[in-house]
Amino acid sequence: MSKISCMFKQVFSRCNTFVLTLLCIGSLDVLFSQTAPNWSSKFDHLDYGQIREVAETSGGDLYMAKNNNEYSLYAPPAILLYNHITEQIIDQSSASFTLNTITGIKLVGDSVLYISGLANYTGPVYNRVYKKNVNSSQWQQICQTDKDINCLEVYGNKLFIGGNFTNLNGSNFSYLATYDITTGVFDSVPQKLSHPVPNTAAVYCLKNNGTDLIVGGVFLNAGTDTLNSIALYNSSGWHSLNKGLQ
């Protein structure tokens, strides 16, 4: 039987008024699809590696961000497209795609893919975000930082980028940046995230719930607002989730 090991990141408030469970897909030998009432295995030929994250098209196909076993330098990661009708897998990687580890993937309007990840192990370490039209073979780098990029999410007409970076493309950002999908302009959110302990703050997860953007990580404040590591963000600004994590 194929082995599946999953990493769960769970965030609990001590107030017992809410529980947020964040699921991060970890190492997979085989990816499974659910067909009630049984599970049927797919993609046995993927062998060992990680399916870090998936992005689904409106038609039900899957773009899969695959990291290879132990992040081998000789087995770079790949973006794979799975056709749910033919069950064929097509490699979406190309020579213009330069990452050693993928940390996030997002699909916008069935037309543009965004991926983030680590670009080097042996020399200076860079984390980058790339984008690609789904009908093109060429990836375009849109930003770079020497710190971690942990997650991506689309909210409104912007791509939100979270990590522990304080600069992106040479400009100052505090752990969370936005990229306007229409204009290609980077910006920071109002009231930047902060933590009283230096070099501690980071954004680890982002989730669009259809109304708000849920932001989780290690931070205490956004401007003068106290958030305690978990918060909602929308057009009116930051909002705490109860008392956050205390």
Task: Give tens-digit pLDDT for 67-119.
Answer: 875 545 556 788 889 999 998 988 887 767 778 889 999 999 999 999 999 88
Low-confidence winner among 10-24, 67-81, 87-101, 169-183 (lowest mean pLDDT): 10-24
Q: What is the pLDDT of residue 46?
A: 52
pLDDT of residue 34: 44
209-227 pLDDT, tens per residue? 999 999 999 998 887 778 8
What is the average pLDDT value for the chain, to the nearest integer?
Answer: 77
Question: How would DSSP label each residue in 128-168?
Answer: EEEEEETT-S--EEEEEESS-EEEEEEETTEEEEEES-SEE
Joined tokens for residue 198: 């230096």
- Are 196 and 229 contacting, i.e. CB atoms less than 8 angstroms apart? no
How far apart CA 246 and CA 206 sit, in angstroms, is 20
- CA-based nearest residue to 6, from 36, 31, 33, 42: 31
Distances (CA, A) of 158 to 43, 134, 155: 33, 18, 6
Residues 201, 171: Cα–Cα separation, whole Å? 18
**Are the C-beta atoms of residues 89 and 80 closer than 8 Å to each other?**
yes
73 and 54 Cβ atoms separated by less than 8 Å: no
pTM: 0.78
